[in-house]
């Protein structure tokens, strides 16, 4: 189903032909905010913005027009551990996407005038983010739980740091980190694999192999805390969370299923039914599981009435205790698996999501599981796996608490 190729310089390619007239392509780079040093905090995200501002061969307008001009879309995003530059276009225009990716990754000039303008854009993004407590609380929570570790870095960085960025510092970060050993080209669309390989050889294979200086050897420690911050919000925002399995942990699949049962996106999640539907004192309640390469985080978030905090926490603890002490019945386990498999399969049916998923997977594991293989992993989870994980990891003694009021 998936086809692979590695260029002589170490850049990897993963591909699936879905026969579509539209192709989604991207370059995944195994560099994110955790790889920044000191005053570089926010640099990976700033590069995501400014990498489109000019190369040795193109001005900013020509970069944007290269894909948009044929009805496609060009975009990028940054996480704690990855940067992705991607595009969607008609399959007949895939070559121009790949050529453009290579140009902006290896030849961006970061003109000073453009950099200064983009600083204002990013600072406004930081300002707008601080006006969204439902988003900001995730960053604050990670900053407290990973205190002193690079994973605590806010992806956007600080205004002070952003103002310090220069053409030279940006180029230095890219030279040190945007190296061939950390790149995966991911493509899903209606083209022949031989053409994809030929175009990647033509536009990416010409660069010498290089290894990143990024160092992730420092294992993060998760500290426990109970902090209340006065954010002058109209409602109270509450987040509970703790350490969770990494992407390489054998418990990852079982924990993902547990998270989906507890507070996944479906309206029948246990937290939604037991708290939102029964008592009505919160509009949004959800749990999330974010695995990193060497650890993971589990969060429960809700926006609640000001006087409902203690009741809310009590109800959450009750649900966690139930998962830790009461095994799922065969019917409950079967239904939970079918729901999770259905959500995963439907999500992967969207070709853009699939392109991003297989790019990240190949970057991390040097392979990509098929949907059938992922289904088998989910089916292998048993009730005791769920109970044991809940009892071990989701014990209230392990949970940290952050409140905005």
pLDDT in tens, the chain (405 residues): 899 999 999 999 999 999 999 999 999 999 999 999 888 999 999 999 999 999 999 999 999 999 999 999 999 999 999 999 999 999 999 999 999 999 999 999 999 999 999 999 999 999 998 889 999 999 999 999 999 999 999 999 999 999 999 999 999 999 999 999 999 999 999 999 999 999 999 999 999 999 998 899 888 999 999 999 998 888 999 999 999 999 999 999 999 999 999 999 999 999 999 999 998 888 889 999 999 999 999 999 999 988 899 999 999 999 999 999 999 999 999 999 999 999 999 998 999 999 999 999 999 999 999 989 999 999 999 999 999 999 999 999 999 999 999
Are 122 and 244 members of one domain? no
What domain range is 177 assigned to? 3-203
**Would 22 be classed as within a structural domain?**
yes
Residue 215 near residue 293, CB atoms below 8 Å:
no
State how far the alpha carbon of 377 is from the alpha carbons of 276, 291, 338, 374, in Å: 31, 17, 12, 5
* Residue matched to tokens 């992407």: 247
Domain count, the chain: 2
**Would 358 be classed as within a structural domain?**
yes
Nearest to 159 by CA among 118, 127, 112: 127
Which pLDDT does position 306 carry in this prediction?
86
Are 246 and 110 members of one domain? no
Hey, which residues are catalytic here? 48
Residue 236 near residue 307, CB atoms below 8 Å:
no
Are 259 and 379 members of one domain? yes
φ, ψ at 95 (rounded to 5°): -60, -40
Are 235 and 281 members of one domain? yes
Nearest to 80 by CA among 168, 142, 163, 165: 142
Nearest to 177 by CA among 216, 215, 212: 212
| pTM for the predicted model, two decimal places | 0.94
Pairing between strand 236-244 and 226-229? Answer: unpaired
Are 197 and 265 members of one domain? no
Q: Report the alpha-carbon distance of residue 369 to residue 377 in Å, rounded.
A: 10
Q: Let me know if 346 is exposed, middle or buried by CB neighbors in 10 A (0-12, 13-18, 19+).
A: exposed
Which pLDDT does position 283 carry in this prediction?
85
Last residue in a domain, options 139, 169, 203 = 203
Rounded to 10°, the helix 309-325/252-263 angle is 130
């Amino acid at each position: 189903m998936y086809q692979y190729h590695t260029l002589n310089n170490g850049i990897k390619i993963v591909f699936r032909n879905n026969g579509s007239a539209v192709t989604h392509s991207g370059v995944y780079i195994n560099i994110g905010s955790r790889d920044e040093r000191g005053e570089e905090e926010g640099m990976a995200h700033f590069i995501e913005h400014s990498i489109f501002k000019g190369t040795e061969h193109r001005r900013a307008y020509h970069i944007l027009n290269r894909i948009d001009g044929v009805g496609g879309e060009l975009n990028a995003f940054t996480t704690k551990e990855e940067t992705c530059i991607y595009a969607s276009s008609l399959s007949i225009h895939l070559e121009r996407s790949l050529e453009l990716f290579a140009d902006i990754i290896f030849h961006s000039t970061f003109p000073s005038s453009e950099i200064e303008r983009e600083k204002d854009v990013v600072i406004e993004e930081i300002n707008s983010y601080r006006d969204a407590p439902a988003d900001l609380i995730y960053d604050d929570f990670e900053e407290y739980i990973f205190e002193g570790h690079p994973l605590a870095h806010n992806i956007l960085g600080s205004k002070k740091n952003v103002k310090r960025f220069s053409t030279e510092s940006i180029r230095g970060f890219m030279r040190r980190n945007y190296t061939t050993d950390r790149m995966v080209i991911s493509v899903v669309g209606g083209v022949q694999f031989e053409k994809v390989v030929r175009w990647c050889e033509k536009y990416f294979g010409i660069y010498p192999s290089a290894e990143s200086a990024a160092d992730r050897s420092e294992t993060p420690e998760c500290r426990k805390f109970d902090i209340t911050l006065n954010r002058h919000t109209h409602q109270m925002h509450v987040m509970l969370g703790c350490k969770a399995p990494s992407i390489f942990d054998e418990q990852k699949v079982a924990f993902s299923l547990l998270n989906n049962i507890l507070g996944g996106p479906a309206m029948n999640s246990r937290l939604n039914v037991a708290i939102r539907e029964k008592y009505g004192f919160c509009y949004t309640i959800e749990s999330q599981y974010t695995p990193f390469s060497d650890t993971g985080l589990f969060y429960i978030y809700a926006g609640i009435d000001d006087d409902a905090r203690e009741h809310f926490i009590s109800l959450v603890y009750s649900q966690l205790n139930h998962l830790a002490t009461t095994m799922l019945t065969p019917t409950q386990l079967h239904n939970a698996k079918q729901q999770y498999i259905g959500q995963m399969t439907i999500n992967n049916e969207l070709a853009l999501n699939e392109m991003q998923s297989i790019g990240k997977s190949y970057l991390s594991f040097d392979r990509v599981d098929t949907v059938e293989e992922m289904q088998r992993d989910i089916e292998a989870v048993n009730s005791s796996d769920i109970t044991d994980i809940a009892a071990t990891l989701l014990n209230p003694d392990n949970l940290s608490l952050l409140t905005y009021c």
